Structure 1
Amino acid sequence: MITQKTLFTVIVLTFLTACASMGTGNKAEKQQQIIKMKNEVLTQLYQKKPDTRDQINAAPGYAVFSNANINLIFMAAGTGYGVVKNMKTKKNTYMNMAEGGIGLGLGVKDYRIVMVFHTENAMNSFINNGWTFGGNADAAAKAGDKGGSVEGEAYYGDVTVYTLTEAGLALQATIKGTKFWVDKELN
């Protein structure tokens, strides 16, 4: 007999896989899917915060990530992918991300992250060393253009981070770490 907890777990895992997967295809097709996601996210960001276009164009580089996150009472986990764009060299560096943490909450959220690197050192450090940061409190109830979410802007030294919720239903306050690393398959 399937319990509600088992059914919920299956639904959540299916959601995470669908949201955090860049799909199938060869290297070039996967890269193209990531670039398409990046362009769509930037379009959304520019519509919500028009001043970010000038900020990104003046920066040494920026990154855009797609992430799916789940929080089951005391545990949080997420996975995603993205790309860092070096504005000087025009080079793309494809990366992965994963997060895990503890805290109170329940829900599933599909969201995007845009990072603007204000120095070349900050961008290079992010690419070469990855980056881990933590702490999160948010609420989201969104499907397509329906619903709402608390979205934000944060500053971490020489990096500005914007988050945009795509879909999900979540209420969470967690302490979590997020790790980013270069995707060896796609670079």
Structure 2
Amino acid sequence: MKKLLFTLFAITLAACSAQGDTPADQRAAIDKMNNEILAKIDKESPGARAMALGANGGYATFTNGQVNIIFVAAGNGYGVATSKSGRKTYMDMYEAGVGLGMGAKDYDVLFVFHTAEAFNDFVNKGWVFGAEADAAAKTGDKGLGVSGGMTIGDITVFQLTESGLALQATLKGTKYVKNDRLN
């Protein structure tokens, strides 16, 4: 059982890194991913892209992978935070949690920062704590991914499940950190 857990976590953690051999290639891949996430989320939540681009603080997009095995959840991903002035900060994310669930999923997230303070806190401090309850059964364009999009203080969060099979209720902490190699 330990071997299975380790293997699943290792696959999830290894799968979530920007493609490219050089920092310039990886930044280009993340920029492309950013545009794709904005388009996909706007399709599901019309107006989300306009909200992000017009936000007083800026916005961030991330692509993530997560594994939940009985009582433990872990995941990671990468993305970019774009200030209102257009300055980009490339970031990584790591999450861990506890709760009841089973499965794995890939998902995209859009954070819209309604104030410069909220944006700066996210980029410079990066912690997000929360509770998550969702169900996902999706591959490609087939299936259903149900996740909540909500406003918390000065941040609106949109989440879109790309693929996976998961049923979970977890308490988790997520750390968003600047990627020194890409900035």
Classify the TM-score, shorter chain: over 0.9
Question: Equivalents in 2 of 1:94, 1:45: separation in Å?
Answer: 20
Write out aligned runs for 1:8-19 (5 A): 10=7, 13-18=10-15
Query: Structure 2 regions of 5+ residues with no counterpart?
Result: none
**Aligned twin of 1:116:** 112
Q: Cα distance, 1:54 vs. partner?
A: 2.4
**Aligned twin of 2:26:** 30
Q: Cα distance, 1:37 vs. partner?
A: 0.8
Question: Identity of aligned pairs, percent?
Answer: 48
| Aligned partner of 1:141 among 129, 132, 137 | 137
Q: 1:64 corresponds to which letter in structure 2? A: T
Q: 1:29-88 CA distances to partner (integer Å, 9 max, x unpaired)?
A: 000111111111111011111221321222030000011000010100001111001122
Question: Equivalents in 2 of 1:45, 1:82: separation in Å?
Answer: 15
Write out aligned runs for 1:161-176 (5 A): 161-176=157-172
Question: Equivalents in 1 of 2:143, 2:9: separation in Å?
Answer: 20
Larger Rg: 1
Q: Cα distance, 1:25 vs. partner?
A: 1.1
Q: Cα distance, 1:13 vs. partner?
A: 3.3
Question: Equivalents in 2 of 1:130, 1:15: separation in Å?
Answer: 21
SS at match of 1:102: strand
Query: Structure 1 regions of 5+ residues with no counterpart?
Result: none
1:70 aligns with 2:70: no
Alignment: residue pair count: 182
**RMSD across aligned positions (CA):** 1.6
Structure 2 length-normalised TM: 0.93
Moved over 6 A (4+): none
User: Structure 1 stretch 36-45 or stretch 125-134: which is displaced more?
Assistant: 125-134
